[in-house]
Amino acid sequence: MDAPQGSYSGTTPTDFIATAFYAYSTRILRDAAKVIGKYDDIQEYTALLDKIIEQFNYEFVSPSGRLVSPNANCSCSSLDV
């Protein structure tokens, strides 16, 4: 684990985790809208997802493509963003 001994909080920034899961949940909503044929919702969630991914990359990925917090949780969480 990446948490210091005796700590319940790891080294992965909470805003990193929140943004990754925001993107993940938005992707689920977009995909659900596709399944049920809600075309306006598809466009809305696609646009939102694109903005989330853009901001995620701006905030958490360096210009050379490295994650700003190089631990296992960040690496795994960013795979779906």
Q: What is the pLDDT of residues 12-22, one digit of tens each?
A: 788 988 999 99
Average of per-residue pLDDT across 21-33: 97
**Exposed e or buried b for every residue in 12-35, given b needs 16+ CB within 10 A?**
bbeebeebbebbeebbebbeebee
Query: Within 13 Å, how many C-alpha atoms sit on residue 67's CB side?
Result: 17
Q: What is the pLDDT of residues 33-66, one digit of tens each?
A: 999 999 999 999 999 999 999 999 999 998 998 8
pTM: predicted TM-score of the whole model, two decimal places: 0.80
